[in-house]
Structures are given as structure tokens and as C-alpha cells.
Amino acid sequence: MQNRWISRLLPAATNTRPTEWSRAAIGVSLGTLLCVWVCSAFFGLPVAMHLIGPLGASAILLFAVSSGALAQPWSILGGYLCATVMSLAVVHFFGRNLDSACLAVGLALVLMCLLRCLHPPAGALALLVVLADPDSARLGWGMLGPVMLSAVCMLLSALAYNNLTRVRYPRKIAEPIPPIVEPRVAGDPGITAQDLQKALEQMDAFIDVTPEDLEALVRASEHNARRRSVGEVFDQAR
């Protein structure tokens, strides 16, 4: 039991090639640099530097794991908007202090979940908007300007860079997969996207994958298993 618990702490395989790491790393650096440069041109370098933390985290999602639900366009735009509006509202009623910052990040999470735009870096953004530096604090509700400008710049950077480097972004919604035309075991109804959706709901946790993606993975696994089975039959025949 103890060994099993310890094994959960070990890092899981990333299933990506080193060339993909390099591609993503270049995109993260260029995207973050562009966002800071554009934001500083309009609102000053101190404000841009104040937002660099969440922007770097967003860049990791948009360039390294761009297929995830948390990295899609509505996630970053909606997440940044929710975090900023909620934080500024908390500042209006409770001022700028540590308690307000913690309250803001919790409320921002609830709002992002309601609007289906969960984006983890927005949590850091909520804290920074409340605990703002003097230059950012003076903007008041005008803080929406640099935040949303930075979010749009990051999104445009990801759209351009990912697609130019042959990584489709944003993620294309998986098309319904035709049923496999082959006899099944009697009584086996097969797995559908609806079954996977229900399974995800029963897990009662945040899972960064869609039922369609899971169904595609299951079908691909079945296909590979059939090819392996056929190959083993031929090997045995030899």
C-alpha cells in the first residue's frame, strides 16, 4: 500500500518527443515576449511586468498542451476576464489585502466554472489584480485594458505559431466516429461518447479531456489491438 502511494508521486510519462519540447519552448518564449512588449507599449513596462507571471503560465498551456480544454481560446479570454472583473469587484468592497486576494481567487474559480472557461493561470491573475503594484492599482477598472490586451496577444501568438509549426489550434471538435463494422461479443453494447460522458461525471473531478477525445482514444486502441492480434497470428503461422 505504501509503495503504491509513493508511486503516485512519481512523474508520469509525457508521451511527447524532444522536438516537441523545443517547438513549444520557442513558442512560449516568443509569445510571452510579444505580450509584454505590446502591453508595455500601451500601459507602461511596470504594468506589463506585473502580469508576466500569469502570461508565462498561460503560454505553457497554449503552446505545450494546446489540445487541452484549459488551453482553448474561450478558456484564456473568459478566464482572464472573469478573474479581473471578480478581483476588481472584491477590491471595490473589501480593499487590497491578503484576505481579499484569497477571496477573489476562489470567487473567480466559481465564475469560470459557471461560464465554462476554466484557465488555471487566471487564478494567479486574480491574486495579482488585488495585490497590485502602485502603477497597476492606479488604473482601477482600467486594469481590464492591459489584462485583455495581453490575453488577446497571447491567443493570437498561439494561433499563428502553433498552426505555422503544424500543430492544429484551436482544437477541432472531434467528429462522431462511425461504428466499427465487425461482429461483437454477444451482449457487448460497445462504448459511446455518452457512456464516457457519464463516466466523467461520476468521477466528480476536473478532467482536462472531452468524451469525444476519450472515444477516439478507445477506438484507436481497439484498432491497434486488432492489428497486433493479426500480426501475432501471422507470426505463429510462420
199-236 pLDDT tens trace: 766 665 556 566 666 676 677 776 677 676 666 656 66
Q: How would DSSP label each residue in 129-196?
A: HHT--HHHHTTGGGGHHHHHHHHHHHHHHHHHHHHHTT---SPPPPPPPPPP-S---TT-----HHHH
With 60 as the cut, is the pLDDT of residue 174 above it?
Answer: no
The residues spanned by each domain of the chain are 18-164, 174-238
74-101 pLDDT tens trace: 999 999 999 999 999 999 999 999 999 9
Long-range (24+ apart) CB contacts under 8 A made by 216-225 are 216/174, 216/177, 218/191, 219/177, 219/180, 222/180
Asked if residue 140 lies in contact with residue 88, where contact means CB atoms within 8 angstroms, the answer is yes
128-168 pLDDT tens trace: 999 999 999 999 999 999 999 999 999 999 999 999 999 99
Give the pLDDT score at 181: 43
CA atoms of 137 and 131, how far apart (whole Å): 8
Give the pLDDT score at 13: 62
